[in-house]
Structure 1
Amino acid sequence: MAMTDLLSADDIKKAVGAFAAAESFNHKKFFEMVGLKKKSQDDVKKAFHILDKDRSGFIEEDELKSVLKGFTPDARDLSDKETKALLVAGDKDGDGKIGVDEFTSLVAES
């Protein structure tokens, strides 16, 4: 499954383009722009599984760094600062990674 199976390719392009500049990523605005916030919890979980590249059941820091590439391959990597901020926002139990429930909460609160 690809992100374009869940979300509009145009929305993905616009959202990724809006955060093309380094240090500009805002997960709340991104999830809204890309259309993920309007999706059902099941669809948000599907998006999580696409972003969980190693299928560990968690999105770890290295996967967060390339989160935009999970939406479109030609996107940029997040900076270390942006990656840490996203991890802090999503990691509610402090284990250093984001589980599926943490991800759905992160998208919902956006």
Structure 2
Amino acid sequence: MVMTDLLKPEDIKKALDAFAGETFDPTKFFEMLGMKAMTAENVRKVFQVLDVDGSGFIEEEELKFVLKGFSKEGRDLTDAETRAFLIAADKDGDGKIGADEFEALVHE
């Protein structure tokens, strides 16, 4: 499965363009993509695409490249953005984002 199976290509481009040069805000990004209106099941499908190694978690190293999971034109997150994203989503403090945590952040 690829991201364009789940999200509109024009929404992906618009959201990536909005954060091309400014500080990444995952909540605003997911809202721009229309993910807040998605079912929990479909948000989990997005999560699976972003979970590159298939571990069931998005670890900090995967998180740095999360925008490229939406489109190869996406930029890498800075270390500070990666850390802020992790802190925002990692509710149990285990240093990685599970599917439940990801879905909760999207629908926050």
TM range (shorter): over 0.9
C-alpha distance in 2 between matches for 1:3 and 1:41: 16
Q: Which residue type is aligned with residue 6 of structure 2?
A: L
Q: Does 1:14 align with 2:14?
A: yes
Partner of 1:20: helix, strand, or coil? Answer: coil
Give the superposition deviation at 1:30: 0.2
Partner of 2:37: helix, strand, or coil? Answer: coil
C-alpha distance in 1 between matches for 2:106 and 2:5: 18
Q: Does 1:5 align with 2:5?
A: yes
Q: Name the structure 2 match of 1:36.
A: 35
Moved over 2 A (4+): none
Alignment deviations for residues 28-54 of structure 1 (CA, whole Å, 9 cap, x no partner): 110000111111100000000000000
Equivalenced residues, count: 108
Percentage identity across paired residues of the two chains: 62
C-alpha distance in 2 between matches for 1:37 and 1:5: 17
Alpha-carbon RMSD: 0.7
Give the superposition deviation at 1:16: 0.4
Q: Which residue type is aligned with residue 10 of structure 1?
A: E
In the superposition, the TM-score normalised over structure 1's length comes to: 0.96
Give the superposition deviation at 1:104: 0.4
In the superposition, the TM-score normalised over structure 2's length comes to: 0.98
